[in-house]
Amino acid sequence: MAKSIGVTLSERILAGLVVDHQLQGPLCCYPQNQEEVDALVELPTDSLVRTIADEIVACAAGATDIAAIGVALPGLIRNGVVEEAPNLPQLKGARIGVLLTAELVSRGFNTSVNILNDADGMAAGLAARHGKLDHLIRVWTLGVGIGYGRYPFAPGVWEGGHTVVTLDEKEQYCGCGGRGHMEGIMGHRAMRLRFLDMEPDEVFAAAKAGDPRCLEFKRLWHKALAAATSTTIHMAGTGKFYLTGFNARFVDLPLLKDYLQQMVKMSPLQSYSLEIVEDNPEIRVIGAAVAAELAAGI
């Protein structure tokens, strides 16, 4: 059974030892205090690389037979380079794969390192958890922004959260500045900008109570998700879609399915399915490790 290490970065670094697609022991984390939400943003790139390496070494616990290391980061990741990183701006342009490999080699680790987007890590983790490593899996992560993950990995940009879902010129709430983006409607940050007098929880509660403005937005929110999902169905085909992230609690599945049925009319493309799942950090760690094993040909 191959031993690998999975690492994810968001507000914290989480790392774990994975054996046969199962987490072994507790996760290593930095910082341990969950209230230090800006700890990683404040670290320069070199310091962040060393801190990631510290957690990998701690997870290895002296093992010398680590077959692969996977590191899942938020942002646009291609060929081990962080091309865009809104949540960790110090990493923009960093050849993180090369830097981390060199740091680990200096510590006696000659193991291949695979760098991937964190949403792709979630997709790989869900595929492993549900025994679907031979299936196409897609994941929408509904949080501060909108993440789109795909398993198995395929070359491409895959910034699905920036799918254009409306031509309304007033829709300019996306953090990237683009017009009509899914994230500009569904992202937590975007919702707070749109409703300066209400938090997202209050908006959806008011919609449930029948408030016209909030009810109209709830419909728009679900139409945006349906439109982006419909687009990927028409481009890549049917399959399983998982919905996760802290704002997946707002999803009204019957409403979403109704909008999707209105958008996907070709009968060969109607065998898709939707499921809401918990955004479990352990699944992300396992997914990063599984993706690294596949990239290494294990």
Kindly tell me if the per-residue pLDDT of 165 is higher than 70.
yes
> pLDDT tens digits, residue range 14-67?
999 999 999 998 999 999 887 776 788 889 999 999 999 999 999 988 777 899
pTM: 0.88
Rounded to the nearest angstrom, the gap between the alpha carbon of residue 161 and the centroid of all alpha carbons in its chain is 10
What is residue 37's predicted lDDT score, i.e. its pLDDT?
67
What residue ranges do the domains of the chain occupy? 3-121, 124-276
Domain 124-276 sits in CATH 3.30.420.40: yes
Percent of the chain's residues with pLDDT above 90: 78
Kindly tell me if the per-residue pLDDT of 191 is higher than 90.
yes
Strand ranges in 43-181 using DSSP code E only, listed in sequence order: 66-73, 76-78, 81-84, 113-117, 137-142, 146-151
Sign of the alpha-carbon torsion through 33, 34, 37, 40: positive
Within this chain, domains 3-121 and 124-276 share the same CATH topology: yes
Say if residues 273 and 126 touch (Cβ distance below 8 Å): no
Domain 3-121 sits in CATH 3.90.420.10: no
